[in-house]
């Protein structure tokens, strides 16, 4: 695996085509790290000229902003923007819809204007340009349902890129009764990931997992590390671990051809 | 008709419209209690939204049954109002069906009014059945008890009675029935009144006519107290709605200035004190309605309590206290309370209450996942999420009153740049394992 950092690139006088913003989940969460690696493997295979910030990366500020801490958010944002601008970053790709949303929509006013793409969008354009090919491989014939991350779907109107990638896998894409604009949240957004839910009758991730179970999928695909955690937990809670796997789109593509 | 009728009608009209205008002024004043926000940019997109969402009802039909029935009532409501124009002229000048000189066109118009009135009546009855017999859950949530429930029923009864009166009025209008043109629906009701004398028919016709127009004026004035205000406010509300993608929250400018100052190595820390000492520093976030912006306050008056937001909210669906509809209803209730306070005292006198805690509890706002389902669902572009975020901002930045787990998350971000307690120097370790 070849993972150059921006600092290394700069030392060699090079400017990568795109910065891969790994995000906190992608850097530290054991499950999400697998998504990060799967994505990097695809980038390597497609010879994408990219780099990461490594230890110079810091939280985008999304959970702080959604929790109401605008100070902390803007501190994070402005610190990140200083780093990004110092490296003259033009384009950012990230596998986290929360980082994606803050960069794309909330950083520009604070002085950080970049072309921001979600990893499913980048993968889709790599596919369109013929830089990667997607084959079903070990997923051929499987039934896959896609859970729309709120910060990709409703927040930014991206519904098709992940679906088009799944369809290329030679699988059956089935939609849950609540999907796209009507997709139900996994329960992690708005900083809920970091706290217990308020008193209620049910956990949101279980409610959502039941939506998925209804369509009897072999795989629940997502495009967000937090949705991944919530759906994985939901599958465990409902005792479906042996029947249903929760995978990120990047993992589907990388694993299909055993990268 | 003698002049007494005309004078009585004129007085009724002046009173009805006068009260209505007075109440509209109150609403406008209350909405203006909100903070300023610029929503005049991109007028083209705004007109388009209003045309599509309010006039064209584009979001209503996302739930097809309620959507189609609503369109019937809405179209009926607008078109039948042409008839009200005639009623006004007849009432003021003692004329009889003044527009009938239009001949064939008139008969066509009256015919379509009758058909619409009939369809509206049927739709409203179905609405009532959905509420009271099918008991669709979103009409029976916890915030829909007492006045909100009765309000919804009052509106349906008002509409039923008004439509019935319109049809009875036409049925018992002997001259109109003799023309036998335009009486598409009322001709079938004529047999009901067969045994009545001409004189009683005339009396019934007059009584129906008077109650009908009085009912319309009363209904007009009921709007101010009711969720039915949406028939007017849906238009400005969709026009002034947020045009950004839903994921974008505003960046507080006051915070930006402070953060910039903190990060500027050349900033003189002693120069930071405000030059004008009398200027009270702004509050971060919102604890009361006057901290919200005027669009958020207009949102509250526009809400018709249909509950599509709540029925799609992940927190509401899993039994949490939060209901986006209740957020809007409570905001309106508090705003009304502040308004009454101003009416009484001339200006707002502290009543020891505020929107946060007294109306909306922290438990509600901390249950939100910011998923935007409520914003997506609203048929008139109301944004409950923006109010929830503003209340959270107050709790966190003014009161440091976030749930403990969130405080830990935020401390982690401050200390090590991640919501969990990992060393920032370990950020790239994933690539070696």
Nearest C-alpha of chain A: how many angstroms from B150? 28
3-state secondary structure of B151: helix
Q: What is the CATH number of the domain that holds A115?
A: 3.40.50.1860
Which of A77, A99, A125 is the last residue in one of the domains? A125
Measured CA to CA, the distance from residue A50 to residue A174 in angstroms comes to: 33
* Per-residue pLDDT at A33: 97
CB contact under 8 A, A74 and B251: yes
Chain A residue with minimum CA distance to B377: A182
Is there a contact between B361 and B256 (Cβ–Cβ < 8 Å)? no
* Per-residue pLDDT at B104: 87
Residue with tokens 């739930």: B63
CB contact under 8 A, B368 and A190: yes
Q: Which of B372, B419, B422 sits opposite A194 (nearest CB)?
A: B419
Measured CA to CA, the distance from residue B245 to residue A103 in angstroms comes to: 13
B375 to B51, B309, B355, B382: CA distances (angstroms): 19, 7, 21, 6
Tens-binned pLDDT, residue by residue, of chain B (433 aa) = 468 888 999 999 999 999 999 999 999 999 999 999 999 999 999 999 999 999 999 999 999 999 999 999 999 988 888 888 999 999 999 899 998 888 889 989 999 999 999 999 999 999 999 999 999 999 999 999 999 999 999 999 999 999 999 999 999 999 999 988 889 999 999 999 999 999 999 999 999 999 999 999 999 999 999 999 999 999 999 999 999 999 999 999 989 988 988 888 777 666 655 555 555 567 899 999 999 999 999 999 999 999 999 999 999 999 999 999 999 999 999 999 999 999 999 999 999 999 999 999 999 999 999 999 999 999 999 999 999 999 999 999 999 999 999 999 999 999 999 999 999 999 999 998 7
Is A156 exposed, middle or buried (CB count within 10 Å of its CB: 0-12, 13-18, 19+)? buried
Measured CA to CA, the distance from residue B212 to residue B217 in angstroms comes to: 9
Q: Which of B363, B410, B433 sits opposite A64 (nearest CB)?
A: B410
* Assigned domain for A1 exists: no
Domain, as residue range, for A236: 134-256
CB contact under 8 A, A66 and B370: yes
Structural domain count of chain A: 2
CB contact under 8 A, A154 and B321: no
Set of chain B residues whose Cβ sits within 8 Å of the Cβ of A182: 312, 373, 376
Set of chain A residues whose Cβ sits within 8 Å of the Cβ of B414: 72, 75
Nearest C-alpha of chain B: how many angstroms from A141? 32
| Same-domain pairing of A47 and A147 | no
Q: Which of residues 129-168 of A touch B (CB under 8 A)?
A: 150-151, 154-157
Set of chain B residues whose Cβ sits within 8 Å of the Cβ of A67: 392, 396, 402, 406, 409-410
Q: Which of residues 215-244 of A touch B (CB under 8 A)?
A: none
3-state secondary structure of A146: strand
CB contact under 8 A, B314 and A184: yes
Nearest C-alpha of chain A: how many angstroms from B366? 7
Measured CA to CA, the distance from residue B421 to residue B433 in angstroms comes to: 19
List the structure tokens of A183: 């997709």
| Same-domain pairing of A150 and A247 | yes
pLDDT in tens, A166-197: 999 999 999 999 999 999 999 999 999 999 99
Maximum distance among all Cα pairs of chain A, rounded to whole angstroms: 57
| Same-domain pairing of A162 and A216 | yes
DSSP annotation string for B17-74: HHHHHHHHHHHHHHHTTSBP----S-HHHHHHHIIIIIIS-TTGGGSHHHHHHHHHHH
> Which H helix or E strand runs over B286?
none
CB contact under 8 A, B417 and A57: yes
The structural domains of chain B, with segments of one domain joined by +, span 3-31+63-239, 253-270+280-399, 403-433
Q: Which of A63, A68, A101 sits opposite B389 (nearest CB)?
A: A68
| Same-domain pairing of A67 and A171 | no
List the structure tokens of B250: 């505003």
Q: Which of A59, A70, A156 sits opposite B245 (nearest CB)?
A: A156
pLDDT in tens, A44-53: 999 999 999 9
DSSP annotation string for A201-224: SS-HHHHHHHHHHHT--SEEEES-
Tens-binned pLDDT, residue by residue, of chain A (259 aa) = 999 999 999 999 999 999 999 999 999 999 999 999 999 999 999 999 999 999 999 999 999 999 999 999 999 999 999 999 999 999 999 999 999 999 999 999 999 999 999 999 999 999 999 999 988 888 999 999 999 999 999 999 999 999 999 999 999 999 999 999 999 999 999 999 999 999 999 999 999 999 999 999 999 999 999 999 999 999 999 999 999 999 999 999 999 877 7
Set of chain A residues whose Cβ sits within 8 Å of the Cβ of B320: 197-200
* Per-residue pLDDT at B262: 86
| Same-domain pairing of A11 and A109 | yes
Q: Which of B245, B321, B396 sits opposite A69 (nearest CB)?
A: B396
Measured CA to CA, the distance from residue B292 to residue B295 in angstroms comes to: 8
CB contact under 8 A, B260 and A78: yes
Q: Which of A37, A105, A150 sits opposite B371 (nearest CB)?
A: A150
| Same-domain pairing of A119 and A165 | no
Set of chain B residues whose Cβ sits within 8 Å of the Cβ of A40: 431
Nearest C-alpha of chain A: how many angstroms from B430? 6
* Per-residue pLDDT at B5: 86
Nearest C-alpha of chain A: how many angstroms from B432? 9
Q: Which of A70, A78, A204 sits opposite B397 (nearest CB)?
A: A70
Query: In 3D, which of B8, B26, B94 has the Cα closest to residue B338?
Result: B26
B253-270+280-399 CATH fold: Fumarate Reductase Iron-sulfur Protein; Chain B, domain 2 (1.10.1060)
ipTM of the complex: 0.96
Is there a contact between B419 and B274 (Cβ–Cβ < 8 Å)? no
Interface probe with B: pick from A20, A29, A198, most Cβ of B within 10 Å:
A198
Nearest C-alpha of chain B: how many angstroms from A22? 9
CB contact under 8 A, A194 and B433: no
Q: How many CB pairs under 8 A join A and B?
A: 217
Q: What is the CATH number of the domain that holds A180?
A: 3.40.50
**What are the b/e assignments for B17-48, b being 16+ CB within 10 Å?**
eeebeebeeebeebbebbeeeebeeeeeebee
| Same-domain pairing of A42 and A146 | no
Interface probe with B: pick from A4, A32, A53, A67, most Cβ of B within 10 Å:
A67
CB contact under 8 A, A57 and B395: no
Set of chain A residues whose Cβ sits within 8 Å of the Cβ of B319: 199-202
Contacts of A5 (CB under 8 A, 6+ apart): A51, A52, A53, A54, A56, B428
């Amino acid at each position: 695996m070849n993972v150059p950092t921006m600092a290394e690139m700069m030392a060699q006088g090079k400017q990568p085509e795109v910065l891969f913003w790994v995000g906190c989940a992608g850097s530290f969460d054991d499950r999400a790290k697998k998504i990060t690696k799967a994505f990097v493997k695809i980038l390597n295979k497609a010879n994408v000229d990219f780099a990461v910030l490594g230890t110079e990366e810091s939280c985008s500020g999304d959970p702080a902003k959604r929790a109401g801490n605008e100070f902390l958010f803007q501190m994070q944002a402005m610190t990140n923007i200083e780093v990004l601008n110092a490296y003259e970053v033009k384009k950012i790709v990230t596998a986290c819809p929360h980082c994606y949303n803050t960069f794309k929509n909330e950083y520009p006013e604070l002085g950080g204007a970049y072309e921001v793409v979600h990893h499913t969008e980048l993968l889709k354009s790599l596919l369109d340009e013929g830089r990667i090919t997607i084959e079903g491989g070990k997923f051929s014939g499987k039934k896959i349902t896609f859970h729309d991350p709120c910060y990709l779907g409703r927040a930014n109107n991206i519904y098709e890129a992940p679906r088009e990638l799944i369809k290329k896998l030679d699988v059956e894409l089935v939609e849950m009764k609540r999907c796209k604009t009507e997709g139900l949240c996994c329960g992690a957004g708005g900083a809920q990931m970091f706290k217990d839910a308020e008193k209620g009758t049910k956990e949101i991730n279980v409610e959502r997992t039941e939506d998925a179970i209804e369509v009897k999928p072999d795989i629940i695909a997502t495009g967000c590390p937090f949705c991944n955690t919530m759906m994985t937990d939901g599958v465990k809670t409902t005792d479906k671990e042996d029947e249903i796997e929760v995978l990120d789109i990047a993992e589907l593509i990388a694993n299909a051809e055993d990268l | 008709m003698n002049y007494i009728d005309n004078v009585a009608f004129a007085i009724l009209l002046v009173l009805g419209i006068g009260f209505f205008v007075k109440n509209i002024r109150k609403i406008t004043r209350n909405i203006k209690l909100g903070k300023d926000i610029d929503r005049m940019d991109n007028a083209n997109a705004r007109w388009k939204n209003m045309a599509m969402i309010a006039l064209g009802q584009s979001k209503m039909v996302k739930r097809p049954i309620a959507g189609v029935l609503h369109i019937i009532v809405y179209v009926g409501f607008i078109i039948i109002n042409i008839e009200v124009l005639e009623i006004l002229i007849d009432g003021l000048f003692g004329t009889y069906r003044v527009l009938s000189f239009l001949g064939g066109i008139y008969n066509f118009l009256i015919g379509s009014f009758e058909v619409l009135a009939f369809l509206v009546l049927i739709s409203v009855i179905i609405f009532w059945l959905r509420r009271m017999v099918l008991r669709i859950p979103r009409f029976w949530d916890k915030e829909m008890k007492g006045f909100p429930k009765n309000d919804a029923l009052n509106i349906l009864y008002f509409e039923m009675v008004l439509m019935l009166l319109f049809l009875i009025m036409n049925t018992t209008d002997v001259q109109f029935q003799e023309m036998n043109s335009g009486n598409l629906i009322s001709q079938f009701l004529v047999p009901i009144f067969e045994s009545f004398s001409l004189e009683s028919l005339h009396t019934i016709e007059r009584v129906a006519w008077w109650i009908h127009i009085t009912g319309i004026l009363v209904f007009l004035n009921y709007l101010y107290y009711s969720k039915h205000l949406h028939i007017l406010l849906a238009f400005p509300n969709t026009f002034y709605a947020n045009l950004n993608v839903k994921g974008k929250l505003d960046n507080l400018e006051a915070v930006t200035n402070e953060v910039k100052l903190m990060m500027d190595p050349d900033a003189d820390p002693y120069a930071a004190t405000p030059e004008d000492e009398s200027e009270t520093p702004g509050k971060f976030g919102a604890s009361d309605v006057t901290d919200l912006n005027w669009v958020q306050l207009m949102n509250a008056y526009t809400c018709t309590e249909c509950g599509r937001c709540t029925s799609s909210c992940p927190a509401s669906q899993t039994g949490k206290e939060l209901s986006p509809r209740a957020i809007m209803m409570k905001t309106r209730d508090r705003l009304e309370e502040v308004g009454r306070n101003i009416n009484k005292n001339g200006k707002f006198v502290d009543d020891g209450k505020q929107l946060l805690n007294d109306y909306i509890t922290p438990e509600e706002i901390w249950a939100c996942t910011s998923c935007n389902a409520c914003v997506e669902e609203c048929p008139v572009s109301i944004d409950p999420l923006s109010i929830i975020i503003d209340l959270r901002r107050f709790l966190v930045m003014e009161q440091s009153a976030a749930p403990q787990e969130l405080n830990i998350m935020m401390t982690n971000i401050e200390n090590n740049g991640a919501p969990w307690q990992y060393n920032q120097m370990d950020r790239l370790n994933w690539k070696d394992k």
